[in-house]
A and B are shown apart, each in its own frame.
Chain A
Amino acid sequence: MNFNNKFDKKIISFPQMGNLYIPVCALLKAMGADNVLLPANNKQTLTLGTRHSIETMCLPYKMNLGNYIQALEMGVNTLIMFQAPGTCRLGNYAKLAEAKLRELGYDFEMIVFDLYGGKFKEVINKFSLATGNKSMISALKGIRAGLAKFNALDKIERELLYLRPREIKPGKAEKIYKQGVAMIHKSESPRQIKEVVDEIMSRYSKVNIDKSKEILKIFLTGEFFVLLDPFTNMNIEKELGLLGVEVHRQIMLADWIGQSLIPKIIRKIETHKERAIRTAQPYLKRIVGGECIESVGDAVYAAEQEVDGVVHIGPFNCIPEILSQCILPHISRKENIPVISLLMDEHTGKAGFMTRLEAFVDLMKRNKKVMQIA
């Protein structure tokens, strides 16, 4: 079937996931697509998604479906779905969502990005299909701007994660970060983006921090979507930061993009996944799909790096994360590192979630004191 002529004018939308919208918007804009930006994931998205999906489905699917319904209500007729490498239920989602939306009576077309094996060409082809753009030059321009935005976002986010627990007056760094995100979203050329990053960095340097404060360092690892979407993970980074914990999130957007798109031969450094496969060896010998091996590998790596603890998050009923959840307590005992697993679903309450985090932070603090005495 030829999809190209189904709609005269394509109005595109894509699911929200944390800051992913900024680079994607840049790319779509460069290719001249008519793009509708959805509001960031919120309660309504979750309600819509939950209402129309099976109960045992995982949170990322529910969010995506909610996004699609919101988009179609806003007059969008072309939906984009991302399918990153990894073999959990994700491979079924595009089809499942499409069937459900057709059942609900919407008329649209769906373009699926299949990133199995990291095919750079496939992405460009699909983007051309989505935007109707045949010019390679503008596509490359868009990709360059997108990649620059990925790197810029990572840079200001890393700084925020460093500053947040050390701030004397909490909230200032967060404010600057939010300004930075908005500015990066608005800027167009790589040069402009660089200026924005410099500006934000100089603003960061004016934030008063307590350098002598004793800071706990943790690794935040787990399932990809939950890790990167602040609404879904209940802003865990911020909450931990306010409790005086420096968070090292193990998956950053730019790293991930680099690893899934750039071919193996060009790449020089060890990717996150390769590192995880190496460190997870005594506990998990095979890749079992999803981010299971990353979660397990990160926990072992954290112990090697003498980090104070590991926070593992994932959606409820995620198949690979259940496996890593079973393995993590064993690692915790053997490698002597505190690990907490938090699985979220639509019923997770913030209060209970916070109590568990606070208890975990207390435990790490006590642990550290005992270690110092001994």
Chain B
Amino acid sequence: MKIGIPRGMNYYNFYPFWHGFFTFLGIEPVLSSKTTKKTVLQGSQLVVPETCLPVKIYMGHVLDLIDNKKVDVIFVPSHQSIAPKIYNCSKIRGLPDLVRNVVKRNFLLIEPTLDKSEKKQGLYEYLYESVAPLGITDKKLIKKASKAGWEYQNRFNAMMRSGMKLDEALDCVVKGKFVEHKEDDTGKYQINVAVLSHAYNLYDEKVSMKIFKKLEDLGIRSYIAENLSMDEMKKGFMVLNTHLYWANEYEVTGAAGHYLVDKKIDGVITLTSFGCGPDSIMVERITRYAKRLSKPLLNLTVDEHTGEAGFITRLEAFTDMLLRRKRESVIKSLSKQFGERKEEKLVQNRT
């Protein structure tokens, strides 16, 4: 039995879990191919233009699974809320409904709902809904499969925290390996930058335009929200004087709060897709606090028309600014030391 998983939205956060869960139950997960120009084009034809880029891409992936991979069972989960009254964005909440209404193909849609605000819509109900349409209704087996899923997910999380790249980490997880990332890069990079966004923006190379590679070419070490622990992100909310409102706010506001006061970080880059409702509010808050904490901030907005050239120019300009700032601070501290030494000499001469 095969189940198609579109490579978009929550895939970047929860795929290891789904992989472990489905393979344990003898279902083979099939992924759509990586995002291409065609994916974006096909997806954006299905929904209204105002929809955000990641959702358009998601629709493209669903089509890719049905047309090219010939899978007729598609897994589209709806993550309503992760804690009582902590809801996701409407588009994530209604993702299966959107797919059901706009994709005009013949396929079986598997649409489990995870809603922690409701009493009977927790993880096990969610998992039951995921496999019940495929004929697996043994609740004990599902519980066991869930444990297998968590094993994969935890391994993945640990690898991401150690600073591994997402592709490598996913590769290792799928093969059942666990490798700790142990690259010592102190002194290799001049500048450290935190890149903040939702995983589906950041790791989709079509959306983020390979931002990590571009930054590395410019001599920048980039930090991401996945490098942080939950506690660090929770403290980040306190820095920004706010509380959790959106389900996927940790990776943006929480991480921003942490990195804005981190002395090691020279600047912060946020990447949002045009028309993203939650992000517009989060970024407004981050911008206000970045100003107060005098940390350089670059807000990048992308949609399907964003040109790569303009993107690079902005990154380069930001890098130049950071370098100049760093040089200035180095010179300042040097001259301060130099000045102190001069005074010391004068004092010695007098005595």
Contacts and interface: CB of A to CB of B under 8 A. Distances in A.
Interface of A: 54, 56-58, 87-89, 91-92, 95-96, 99, 103, 116, 283-286, 288-290, 292, 316-320, 322-323, 325-327, 330, 341, 343
A344 to B, nearest CB: 12
Contact of A320 (B90, B102, B111, B285): B90
A325 B48 contact: yes
A56 B51 CA distance: 12
A284 B85 contact: no
A92 B97 contact: no
Contact of B102 (A54, A318, A330): A330
B47 A288 contact: no
Given A320-B90, A327-B101, 20 more contacts: A54-B284, A56-B275, A58-B277, A283-B97, A283-B100, A286-B94, A286-B97, A316-B50, A317-B277, A319-B90, A322-B48, A322-B50, A322-B51, A323-B91, A323-B97, A326-B48, A326-B51, A326-B101, A327-B102, A330-B101
Interface string B262-288: 000000000000111110110111001
Contact of B97 (A54, A95, A316, A327): A327
Interface of B: 47-48, 50-51, 78, 80, 85, 87, 89-91, 93-94, 96-98, 100-102, 111, 113, 242, 245, 274-278, 280-281, 283-285, 288
A317 to B, nearest CB: 6
A96 B240 CA distance: 13
Nearest to A327: B101
Contact of B93 (A89, A116, A288, A327): A288
Contacts of A89: 277-278, 280-281
Contacts of B288: 99, 103
A330 B89 CA distance: 22
Contacts of A317: 50, 275, 277
Contacts, number: 92
Q: Which 8 A-B pairs have the closest CB atoms?
A: A288-B94, A319-B277, A288-B93, A330-B101, A319-B90, A288-B90, A320-B90, A56-B280
A95 B90 CA distance: 20
B277 A323 contact: no
Given A316-B50, A343-B50, A286 B284 contact: no
Contacts of A99: 285, 288
Contacts of B278: 89, 319
A280 to B, nearest CB: 9
Contacts of A330: 101-102
A88 B92 CA distance: 12
Nearest to B96: A285
A84 B78 CA distance: 24
A292 B90 CA distance: 9
A319 B85 CA distance: 18
B87 A87 contact: yes
A54 B280 contact: yes
Nearest to B279: A56
14 contacts: A56-B276, A58-B277, A87-B87, A88-B90, A89-B277, A89-B281, A91-B245, A99-B285, A99-B288, A285-B111, A286-B78, A286-B94, A322-B48, A325-B48
A116 B85 contact: yes
A315 to B, nearest CB: 11
B98 A326 contact: yes
Contacts of B87: 87, 289
Contacts of A95: 242
Of B245, B278, B280, which is in contact with the most chain A CB atoms at under 10 Å from its CB?
B280
A8 to B, nearest CB: 28
B94 to A, nearest CB: 4
A286 to B, nearest CB: 6
